[in-house]
Amino acid sequence: MRFQTSEPVRDADTEVVLSLLEAQLRRISWQVERSEQAMEACDIRASFSSIVQNSTAVLSIQTNKANCLLTADVSYRPSVAFWFFFGLGLPTALGWLIPLAFYMSQKGTIRSTIEDVLRRVKAECEFNDSSVAEEVRSCQDDAENGVVEAQVRLADAYYDGDGVPQDFAEATRWTRKAAEQGDSSAQYNLGLAYYTGEGVPQDYAEAALWYRRAAEQGNAGAQCNLGLAYCAGEGVPQSYAEAVCWLRKAAEQGDESAQANLELMHERGQV
Protein backbone atom coordinates (compact mmCIF):
# COMPACT_ATOMS: atom_id res chain seq x y z
CA MET A 1 0.00 0.00 0.00
CA ARG A 2 1.06 3.59 -0.55
CA PHE A 3 0.07 7.12 0.45
CA GLN A 4 1.43 10.67 0.34
CA THR A 5 1.29 13.48 2.84
CA SER A 6 2.87 16.94 2.84
CA GLU A 7 3.52 19.97 5.04
CA PRO A 8 4.52 23.53 3.97
CA VAL A 9 7.31 25.24 5.91
CA ARG A 10 7.87 28.98 5.54
CA ASP A 11 11.18 30.87 5.65
CA ALA A 12 13.24 27.70 6.08
CA ASP A 13 16.77 26.88 4.99
CA THR A 14 16.91 23.56 3.12
CA GLU A 15 20.00 22.35 4.98
CA VAL A 16 18.37 23.10 8.34
CA VAL A 17 15.19 21.28 7.30
CA LEU A 18 17.18 18.23 6.18
CA SER A 19 19.07 18.10 9.47
CA LEU A 20 15.85 18.34 11.49
CA LEU A 21 14.20 15.69 9.30
CA GLU A 22 17.12 13.34 9.74
CA ALA A 23 16.96 13.68 13.53
CA GLN A 24 13.21 13.05 13.61
CA LEU A 25 13.36 10.10 11.21
CA ARG A 26 16.08 8.39 13.22
CA ARG A 27 13.68 8.55 16.14
CA ILE A 28 10.98 6.53 14.32
CA SER A 29 12.84 4.27 11.89
CA TRP A 30 15.68 1.77 11.88
CA GLN A 31 17.56 3.10 8.88
CA VAL A 32 17.84 6.60 7.38
CA GLU A 33 19.64 7.57 4.19
CA ARG A 34 20.18 11.18 3.20
CA SER A 35 20.70 12.73 -0.23
CA GLU A 36 20.92 16.33 -1.46
CA GLN A 37 17.19 17.17 -1.44
CA ALA A 38 15.60 14.06 0.06
CA MET A 39 15.63 11.59 2.93
CA GLU A 40 14.65 7.92 2.98
CA ALA A 41 13.53 6.13 6.14
CA CYS A 42 13.18 2.35 6.17
CA ASP A 43 11.38 0.04 8.62
CA ILE A 44 9.30 2.62 10.46
CA ARG A 45 8.99 1.61 14.10
CA ALA A 46 5.33 2.58 14.22
CA SER A 47 4.55 -0.42 12.00
CA PHE A 48 4.20 -3.92 13.44
CA SER A 49 6.88 -6.04 11.82
CA SER A 50 4.85 -9.22 12.26
CA ILE A 51 2.16 -7.82 9.95
CA VAL A 52 3.96 -5.14 7.91
CA GLN A 53 7.37 -5.27 6.30
CA ASN A 54 9.48 -2.95 4.17
CA SER A 55 7.68 0.19 5.32
CA THR A 56 9.57 3.01 3.59
CA ALA A 57 9.09 6.79 3.64
CA VAL A 58 10.83 8.94 1.04
CA LEU A 59 10.70 12.59 2.12
CA SER A 60 11.54 15.23 -0.48
CA ILE A 61 11.89 19.00 -0.20
CA GLN A 62 10.61 21.36 -2.88
CA THR A 63 11.80 24.95 -2.46
CA ASN A 64 10.05 28.12 -3.60
CA LYS A 65 11.97 31.28 -2.67
CA ALA A 66 12.30 31.13 1.12
CA ASN A 67 9.53 28.52 1.55
CA CYS A 68 9.62 24.79 1.06
CA LEU A 69 7.16 21.92 0.85
CA LEU A 70 7.93 18.67 2.67
CA THR A 71 6.38 15.68 0.90
CA ALA A 72 6.41 12.13 2.26
CA ASP A 73 5.82 9.26 -0.15
CA VAL A 74 5.19 6.23 2.06
CA SER A 75 4.87 2.61 1.01
CA TYR A 76 4.51 -0.68 2.91
CA ARG A 77 3.40 -4.24 2.16
CA PRO A 78 2.29 -7.38 4.00
CA SER A 79 4.88 -9.65 5.59
CA VAL A 80 5.09 -13.44 5.39
CA ALA A 81 3.46 -13.54 8.84
CA PHE A 82 0.46 -11.65 7.51
CA TRP A 83 -0.11 -14.17 4.72
CA PHE A 84 0.31 -17.04 7.19
CA PHE A 85 -2.42 -15.73 9.52
CA PHE A 86 -4.55 -14.73 6.58
CA GLY A 87 -4.34 -18.30 5.25
CA LEU A 88 -5.21 -19.74 8.67
CA GLY A 89 -8.33 -17.60 8.78
CA LEU A 90 -9.60 -18.44 5.32
CA PRO A 91 -11.39 -21.69 6.34
CA THR A 92 -13.41 -19.82 8.96
CA ALA A 93 -16.25 -17.48 8.20
CA LEU A 94 -14.64 -14.23 9.29
CA GLY A 95 -11.23 -15.26 10.59
CA TRP A 96 -9.43 -13.93 7.54
CA LEU A 97 -10.78 -10.45 8.26
CA ILE A 98 -8.75 -10.09 11.47
CA PRO A 99 -5.24 -9.89 9.92
CA LEU A 100 -6.67 -7.89 7.01
CA ALA A 101 -8.28 -5.30 9.31
CA PHE A 102 -5.13 -5.09 11.38
CA TYR A 103 -3.04 -4.59 8.26
CA MET A 104 -5.36 -1.84 7.00
CA SER A 105 -5.17 -0.08 10.35
CA GLN A 106 -1.41 0.21 9.92
CA LYS A 107 -1.94 2.78 7.19
CA GLY A 108 -3.40 5.12 9.80
CA THR A 109 -0.65 4.35 12.32
CA ILE A 110 2.16 4.94 9.87
CA ARG A 111 0.47 8.05 8.41
CA SER A 112 0.04 9.63 11.83
CA THR A 113 3.68 8.88 12.66
CA ILE A 114 4.98 10.50 9.47
CA GLU A 115 2.63 13.47 9.81
CA ASP A 116 3.89 13.95 13.36
CA VAL A 117 7.47 14.06 12.02
CA LEU A 118 6.52 16.73 9.47
CA ARG A 119 4.66 18.78 12.08
CA ARG A 120 7.61 18.63 14.48
CA VAL A 121 10.04 19.78 11.78
CA LYS A 122 7.71 22.60 10.73
CA ALA A 123 7.19 23.75 14.32
CA GLU A 124 10.91 23.75 15.08
CA CYS A 125 11.80 25.62 11.87
CA GLU A 126 9.13 28.27 12.32
CA PHE A 127 9.73 28.65 16.06
CA ASN A 128 13.45 29.14 15.51
CA ASP A 129 12.81 31.57 12.68
CA SER A 130 10.28 33.64 14.64
CA SER A 131 12.41 33.68 17.80
CA VAL A 132 15.50 34.79 15.87
CA ALA A 133 13.48 37.43 14.02
CA GLU A 134 12.15 38.71 17.34
CA GLU A 135 15.68 38.86 18.74
CA VAL A 136 16.88 40.81 15.70
CA ARG A 137 13.96 43.23 15.96
CA SER A 138 14.75 43.80 19.62
CA CYS A 139 18.31 44.79 18.61
CA GLN A 140 17.10 47.47 16.22
CA ASP A 141 16.35 50.18 18.81
CA ASP A 142 19.58 49.55 20.70
CA ALA A 143 21.53 49.65 17.45
CA GLU A 144 19.90 52.93 16.46
CA ASN A 145 20.85 54.31 19.89
CA GLY A 146 24.49 53.47 19.31
CA VAL A 147 24.89 50.26 21.30
CA VAL A 148 27.88 48.61 19.63
CA GLU A 149 26.93 45.03 20.55
CA ALA A 150 23.49 45.51 18.97
CA GLN A 151 25.01 47.03 15.84
CA VAL A 152 27.35 44.05 15.48
CA ARG A 153 24.48 41.58 16.04
CA LEU A 154 22.33 43.37 13.45
CA ALA A 155 25.19 43.43 10.95
CA ASP A 156 25.73 39.68 11.42
CA ALA A 157 21.99 39.03 11.00
CA TYR A 158 21.84 40.92 7.69
CA TYR A 159 25.03 39.29 6.45
CA ASP A 160 23.80 35.74 7.19
CA GLY A 161 20.10 36.34 6.47
CA ASP A 162 19.42 35.30 10.06
CA GLY A 163 15.90 36.47 11.02
CA VAL A 164 15.95 39.12 8.26
CA PRO A 165 16.40 38.98 4.47
CA GLN A 166 20.07 38.72 3.56
CA ASP A 167 21.37 42.16 2.61
CA PHE A 168 25.13 42.80 2.34
CA ALA A 169 24.67 46.57 1.96
CA GLU A 170 22.63 46.75 5.17
CA ALA A 171 25.13 44.48 6.91
CA THR A 172 27.95 46.81 5.91
CA ARG A 173 25.99 49.87 7.06
CA TRP A 174 25.68 48.48 10.59
CA THR A 175 29.24 47.16 10.54
CA ARG A 176 30.48 50.65 9.71
CA LYS A 177 28.56 52.18 12.63
CA ALA A 178 30.19 49.75 15.05
CA ALA A 179 33.61 50.13 13.40
CA GLU A 180 33.47 53.92 13.70
CA GLN A 181 32.94 53.46 17.44
CA GLY A 182 36.15 51.48 17.63
CA ASP A 183 34.95 47.87 17.70
CA SER A 184 37.89 45.86 16.36
CA SER A 185 35.77 42.96 15.07
CA ALA A 186 33.58 45.39 13.14
CA GLN A 187 36.65 47.16 11.77
CA TYR A 188 38.03 43.82 10.61
CA ASN A 189 34.71 42.87 8.99
CA LEU A 190 34.48 46.26 7.28
CA GLY A 191 37.95 45.65 5.89
CA LEU A 192 36.77 42.28 4.58
CA ALA A 193 33.72 43.94 2.98
CA TYR A 194 35.93 46.41 1.10
CA TYR A 195 38.33 43.65 0.10
CA THR A 196 35.62 41.37 -1.31
CA GLY A 197 33.24 44.08 -2.52
CA GLU A 198 30.30 42.71 -0.54
CA GLY A 199 27.91 45.57 0.26
CA VAL A 200 30.39 48.25 -0.88
CA PRO A 201 32.47 48.87 -4.00
CA GLN A 202 35.70 46.88 -3.85
CA ASP A 203 38.52 49.08 -2.57
CA TYR A 204 41.82 47.58 -1.39
CA ALA A 205 43.01 50.87 0.10
CA GLU A 206 39.90 51.14 2.29
CA ALA A 207 40.26 47.48 3.21
CA ALA A 208 43.84 48.06 4.35
CA LEU A 209 42.82 51.16 6.30
CA TRP A 210 40.22 49.24 8.33
CA TYR A 211 42.50 46.23 8.73
CA ARG A 212 45.10 48.58 10.23
CA ARG A 213 42.64 50.08 12.72
CA ALA A 214 41.63 46.62 13.90
CA ALA A 215 45.22 45.31 13.80
CA GLU A 216 46.43 48.12 16.03
CA GLN A 217 43.91 46.92 18.62
CA GLY A 218 45.35 43.42 18.47
CA ASN A 219 42.84 41.72 16.15
CA ALA A 220 44.77 38.71 14.83
CA GLY A 221 42.71 38.28 11.68
CA ALA A 222 43.23 41.92 10.76
CA GLN A 223 46.96 41.69 11.50
CA CYS A 224 47.23 38.69 9.20
CA ASN A 225 45.26 40.35 6.38
CA LEU A 226 47.22 43.59 6.71
CA GLY A 227 50.42 41.58 6.47
CA LEU A 228 49.14 39.87 3.32
CA ALA A 229 48.15 43.26 1.89
CA TYR A 230 51.74 44.50 2.35
CA CYS A 231 53.09 41.29 0.87
CA ALA A 232 50.96 41.65 -2.28
CA GLY A 233 50.94 45.45 -2.42
CA GLU A 234 47.14 45.54 -2.29
CA GLY A 235 45.95 48.95 -1.08
CA VAL A 236 49.37 49.72 0.44
CA PRO A 237 52.91 49.96 -0.99
CA GLN A 238 54.47 46.51 -1.18
CA SER A 239 56.78 45.93 1.76
CA TYR A 240 58.01 42.53 2.91
CA ALA A 241 59.31 44.08 6.11
CA GLU A 242 55.86 45.42 7.01
CA ALA A 243 54.29 42.13 5.89
CA VAL A 244 56.53 40.14 8.21
CA CYS A 245 55.92 42.57 11.07
CA TRP A 246 52.14 42.18 10.95
CA LEU A 247 52.13 38.47 10.12
CA ARG A 248 54.43 37.84 13.06
CA LYS A 249 52.06 39.69 15.42
CA ALA A 250 49.17 37.51 14.21
CA ALA A 251 51.26 34.33 14.31
CA GLU A 252 52.20 35.01 17.93
CA GLN A 253 48.47 34.98 18.73
CA GLY A 254 48.13 31.56 17.14
CA ASP A 255 46.72 32.61 13.75
CA GLU A 256 47.41 29.56 11.56
CA SER A 257 47.13 31.47 8.28
CA ALA A 258 49.74 33.96 9.45
CA GLN A 259 52.02 31.15 10.59
CA ALA A 260 51.72 29.39 7.23
CA ASN A 261 52.36 32.58 5.26
CA LEU A 262 55.40 33.44 7.36
CA GLU A 263 56.82 29.99 6.65
CA LEU A 264 56.12 30.46 2.95
CA MET A 265 57.89 33.85 2.95
CA HIS A 266 60.90 32.20 4.64
CA GLU A 267 60.99 29.53 1.93
CA ARG A 268 60.86 32.22 -0.77
CA GLY A 269 63.59 34.27 0.88
CA GLN A 270 61.29 37.23 1.41
CA VAL A 271 62.13 37.54 5.12
Whole-structure pTM value = 0.55
Mean pLDDT, 10 residues at a time, the chain of 271 residues: 73 72 77 78 58 56 67 69 59 59 59 81 65 74 91 88 81 96 96 94 96 96 96 95 96 93 90 77
pLDDT number for residue 36: 72
Domains of the chain: 2-134 (3.30.530), 149-267 (1.25.40.10)
pLDDT number for residue 200: 95
Residues 6+ apart with CB under 8 A from 155: 171, 172, 173, 174, 175, 178, 186, 189
pLDDT number for residue 79: 54
Residue 105 vs residues 23, 77, 207: alpha-carbon distances, Å: 26, 13, 66
pLDDT number for residue 92: 67
pLDDT number for residue 23: 79
pLDDT number for residue 52: 42
CA atoms within 13 Å, Cβ hemisphere of 136: 21
Long-range CB contact pairs, 252-257, < 8 A, 24+: 253/218, 253/220, 253/223, 254/220, 255/220, 255/221, 255/223, 255/224, 257/224
Helices 220-232 and 204-215 meet at what angle, rounded to 10? 140
Residues 6+ apart with CB under 8 A from 151: 143, 174, 175, 177, 178, 181, 183, 186
